Amino acid sequence: MTTRPLVLGAVAYDPKVVTIWDGFRSWLREHGLAVDHVLYPHYERMVDDLVAGRLDLAWNSPLAWLRAGRLAAATGRSVRPLVMRDTDRDLTSVVVVRDAAGITTIADLAGKLVATGAIDSPQATLIPLAHLAERGVKVQAHRFDVGVGLHGDHIGGEREAARALVDGEVDAAAMLDANHLLFVKEGVLPAGHTRVIAQTEPYDHCNMTVVDTAPRAAVDRFAALLLGMSYADPRVRHLLDLEGLTRWESGRTDGYQVLSAAVDRCGFYGPDGELWMPAYHP
């Protein structure tokens, strides 16, 4: 065991988060690494604690990763993405319309009412709205602010946006590509009655962020253990299923440019990690 446990932060966006990190903690201890976890109500508090050195690691949303990098640079610290899920790479967002609405091109969305997720959702608000704006398509956004502070981890806002589209309350709805498929499977979006009118460039999602004050040897051991987890191991398979991955992969930084540009376009965070969006209250 290490002389002190690594301290990891995670946001409690769902009750299953307790099960996931309790399970990972036990598995890591069985493999000789002590890790404690601290659960947070929203990402902004967790990022503050990570950069201040009160945490060694944080399971960050993509938006939290961006803020951690900006805040760390402004305070003389540095952070890096240690690992990420295989499902965190190369995601896209889509804008969906009703098939019978007569909207055939992205330009047809100009002036239309587009339902989005929460104000801080990268995949269902920031990235798709920036995608439209970059193409000169100005729309009216109708947000569904479910789980503000959770950075889109709670997909309730996206599901409400999809329902608003089906009910004819809006002209289009923005959502994660994978959630679009999920909503069709659930029947929230009736099969064959909607279609994708726009799709964003690929981007990356969550990562395990480590701050430079963390003990290097313990962090390296932590990364090696996660990267060595096997989906074939029944002790961790159910935990991996709950966390939505089949394997851990090394972290990378080149998948966050799309979100960074969207954040700058709407003024969500300042260059030093300040909370600039007036309507954002986590």
Residues 230 and 194 in one domain: no
Domain boundary among 177, 199, 221: 199
For residue 59, CA distances in Å to 65, 112, 174, 194, 196 come to: 9, 36, 25, 34, 31
Shared-domain flag, residues 250 and 115: no
Asked whether the beta carbons of 7 and 219 are under 8 A apart, the reply is no
Per-residue pLDDT of the chain (282 residues; tens, 9 = 90+): 447 999 999 999 999 999 999 999 999 999 999 999 999 999 999 999 999 999 999 999 999 999 999 999 999 999 999 999 999 999 999 999 999 999 999 999 999 999 999 999 999 999 999 999 999 999 999 999 999 999 999 899 999 999 999 999 999 999 999 999 999 999 999 999 999 999 999 999 999 999 999 999 999 999 999 999 999 999 999 999 999 999 999 999 999 999 999 999 999 999 999 999 999 999
User: d(Cα 273, Cα 47) in Å, to the nearest integer?
Assistant: 10
**CA–CA distance, 131 with 258 (Å, rounded to integer):** 9
Beta carbons within 10 angstroms of residue 101's beta carbon: 16
Split into its structural domains, the chain has a count of 2
Token pair listed for 205: 């999602």
The parent domain of residue 122 ranges over: 93-199
> C-alpha angle with apex 41: 263 to 13, nearest 5 degrees?
80
Could you tell me if 98 and 194 lie in one domain? yes
Residue 274 lies in a domain: no
CATH number at residue 11: 3.40.190.10
